[in-house]
């Protein structure tokens, strides 16, 4: 029997990963990771101002590098002619300004070092003012144009970021023809797109971030946006009116990219989607099960049959969109703005003496200093977890609020800040770290509570991503806080594997995404069961978390 392969590409916050997958079994033949060099060097970002930008060259260089590396590592003769499709997932909302040819402005000489001409990463929160304006503006209309995005528009999303850039940078404004999500841009590039008006938009990005809905006939009417700010008018003159599911094709691989990658021109390119949506498929999501992709942030996905939901609208989530995960089902998205990022922040805090004091010491050689830093950094969270796990917890133990990068859900509010309370002279690093982990688990529970209070029962929990695989301490605490079992998927690359499943569907190897998911899924490696002895104390501490969170939110709104 002829063997066929597909490539799934997962664009994360720090890197892009490609996997070469056997269509018949879902076995990962090879994989490759590319860390964005400009991002790693800290270019174009100002964390203190919540500015996070990425250059398109990081993405394009990573695209070529990882695919070619996957093919080379496979050691399969004539592999280039055995690949039938490629599909892509990305972070989101991560949009960029493009000209009429669909070229990102940062690829032009006059904008090559302008952060406003680059991809605005999902966690960039410079558009808080614009998001607040849009939420107030939407209340003036008899039609609730925000009802399919949880009723609250976020600064992390498409329209808020667009208006912020148009207001901030006149040169970029004058050069902008359209505004394109990362997950829609990569398929456009691979298919040789040269006209932004022909770019195919995925229903995932359009529905969850750009207010696209069939009920509205597309995005809300032009006057809805121009009454908000006339600067949006030129973009709206050629806004998209049609969307596609990720099970559909964006076209075939262009001659240029076929040559660059060592593939043939018959390779089909799938419509792009967000990482957590494809990751949920890679992690074998089931109806009414919450799939939690745990990385720098979390993205929580639930799929439900449309005929069972009726007119139910869940307040304060990141949208419910027909076909955004699995065609024919309603995809619901929620998430936390900081998960792994919260741990990384604390790690960076503890690294300060090494980075800024030991590095200047005359007592140690440069080589010794670098080795010391590397050893310290690689073991820090491991040792903190081990010590934190030994701690006895009571109602008065240190506690925290996980809004270190604002709150995504429930009820998006990126103005909110994190907090650590209950500190005393005995509060040490493991105790504070434990409280931060606990807070991220409480934030996860608040999302489940919102779904259930709005009429969407959560029948099971599925954990995916690096944290789920690498930290038994965090996962056990999550099960204790949730008071529910949590299944951890076997695959370390569920997002890329999910993209591969979509690619297999696009290529026609499977009749549906569900068929691809069942045939190519890798199953689960472990289930964390709640510890009955800890469930009650976490339930009491969760109430304290909600009380402190309510106070902080009230305090923020007064300022």
Q: What integer pLDDT is reported at residue 397 of this predicted model?
A: 96
Q: Is the peptide bond before 207 cis (omega within 30 degrees of 0)?
A: no
Coil, helix or strand at residue 123: coil
Q: Find out whether 203 and 324 touch, Cβ atoms under 8 Å.
A: yes
Encode the chain (559 residues) as per-residue pLDDT tens digits. 468 999 999 999 999 999 999 999 999 999 999 999 999 999 999 989 999 999 999 999 999 999 999 999 998 999 999 999 999 999 989 999 999 999 999 999 999 999 999 999 999 999 999 999 999 999 999 999 999 999 999 999 999 999 999 999 999 999 999 999 999 999 999 999 999 999 999 999 999 999 999 999 999 999 999 999 999 999 998 889 999 999 999 999 999 999 999 999 999 999 999 999 999 999 999 999 999 999 888 999 999 998 898 889 999 998 999 999 999 999 999 999 999 999 999 999 999 988 888 877 778 888 888 888 888 888 999 999 999 999 999 999 999 999 999 999 999 898 899 999 999 999 999 999 999 999 999 999 999 999 999 999 999 999 998 889 999 999 999 999 999 999 999 988 899 999 999 999 999 999 999 999 999 999 999 999 999 999 999 999 999 999 999 999 988 766 5
User: Reading across the β-sheet that carries 320-322, which strands appear in turn?
Assistant: 320-322, 329-336, 298-305, 289-294, 460-464, 486-489, 524-528
Q: What integer pLDDT is reported at residue 478 of this predicted model?
A: 97
Q: How far apart are CA 539 and CA 476, in angstroms?
A: 15
Count CA atoms within 13 Å of residue 283 on its CB side: 38
Structure-block tokens of residue 412: 């998006």
E strands, 102-142, are 119-120
Which residues share a beta bridge with 336?
A: 298
Residue 51 DSSP one-character state = B
Structure-block tokens of residue 308: 């069972």
Structure-block tokens of residue 461: 């929990």
Q: Find out whether 104 and 179 touch, Cβ atoms under 8 Å.
A: no
Spell out the residues 6+ positions from residue 134 whose beta carbon is closer than 8 angstroms to its own. 153, 159, 160, 228
Which of left, alpha, beta for 158 (phi over 0: left; psi -120 to 50: alpha)? alpha
Q: What integer pLDDT is reported at residue 360 of this predicted model?
A: 78
């Amino acid at each position: 029997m002829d063997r066929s392969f597909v490539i799934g590409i997962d664009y994360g916050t720090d890197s892009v990963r490609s996997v070469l997958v056997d269509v018949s079994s879902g076995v990962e033949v090879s994989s490759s990771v590319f860390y964005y060099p400009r991002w790693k060097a800290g270019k174009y970002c100002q964390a203190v101002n919540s500015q996070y930008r990425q250059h398109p060259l990081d993405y394009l260089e990573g695209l070529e590098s990882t695919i070619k590396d996957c093919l080379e590592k496979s050691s399969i003769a004539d592999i280039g002619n055995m690949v039938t499709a490629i599909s892509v997932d990305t972070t989101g909302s991560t949009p960029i300004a493009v000209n009429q040819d669909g070229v990102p402005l940062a690829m032009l000489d006059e904008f090559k070092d302008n952060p406003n001409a680059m991809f605005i990463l999902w966690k960039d929160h410079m558009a808080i003012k614009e998001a607040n304006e849009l939420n107030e503006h939407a209340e003036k209309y008899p039609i609730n144009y925000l009802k399919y995005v949880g009723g609250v528009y976020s600064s992390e999303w498409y329209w808020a970021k667009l208006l912020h850039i148009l207001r901030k940078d006149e040169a970029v404004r004058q050069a902008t023809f359209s505004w394109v999500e990362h997950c829609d841009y990569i398929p456009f590039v691979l298919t040789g797109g040269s006209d932004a008006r022909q770019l195919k938009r995925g229903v995932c990005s359009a529905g969850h971030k750009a207010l696209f809905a069939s009920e509205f006939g597309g995005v809300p009417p032009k006057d809805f946006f121009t009454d908000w700010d006339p600067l949006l008018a030129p973009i709206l003159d050629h806004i998209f009116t049609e969307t596609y599911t990720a099970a559909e094709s964006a076209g075939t691989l262009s001659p240029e990219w076929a040559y660059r990658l060592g593939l043939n021109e018959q390779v089909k390119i799938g419509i792009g989607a967000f990482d957590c949506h494809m990751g949920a498929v890679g992690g074998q999501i089931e109806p009414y099960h919450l799939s939690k992709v745990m990385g720098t942030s979390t993205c929580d996905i639930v799929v439900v049959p449309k005929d069972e939901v009726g007119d139910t609208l869940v307040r304060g989530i990141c949208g419910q969109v027909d076909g955004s995960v699995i065609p024919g089902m309603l995809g619901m998205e929620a998430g936390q703005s900081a998960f792994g990022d919260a741990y990384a922040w604390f790690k960076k805090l503890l690294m300060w003496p090494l980075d800024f004091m030991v590095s200047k010491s005359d007592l140690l050689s440069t080589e010794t200093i670098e080795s010391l830093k590397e050893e310290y950094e690689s073991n820090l969270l491991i040792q903190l977890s081990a010590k934190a796990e030994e701690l006895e917890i009571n109602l008065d133990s240190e506690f925290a609020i996980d809004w270190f990068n604002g709150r995504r859900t429930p009820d998006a509010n990126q103005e909110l800040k994190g907090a650590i309370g209950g500190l005393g002279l005995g509060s040490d690093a493991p105790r504070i770290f434990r409280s931060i982990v606990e807070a991220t688990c409480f934030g996860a529970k608040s999302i489940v509570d919102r779904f259930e209070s709005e009429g969407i029962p959560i029948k099971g929990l599925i954990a995916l991503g690096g944290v789920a695989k690498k930290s038994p301490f965090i996962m056990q605490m999550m099960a204790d806080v949730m008071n529910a079992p949590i299944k951890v998927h076997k695959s370390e690359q569920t997002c890329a594997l999910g993209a591969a499943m979509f690619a297999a569907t696009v290529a026609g190897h499977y009749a549906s995404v569900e068929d691809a998911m069942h045939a190519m899924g890798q199953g689960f490696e472990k289930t964390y069961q709640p510890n009955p002895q800890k469930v009650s104390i976490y339930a009491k501490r969760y109430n304290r978390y909600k009380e402190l969170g309510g106070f902080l939110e009230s305090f923020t709104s007064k300022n």
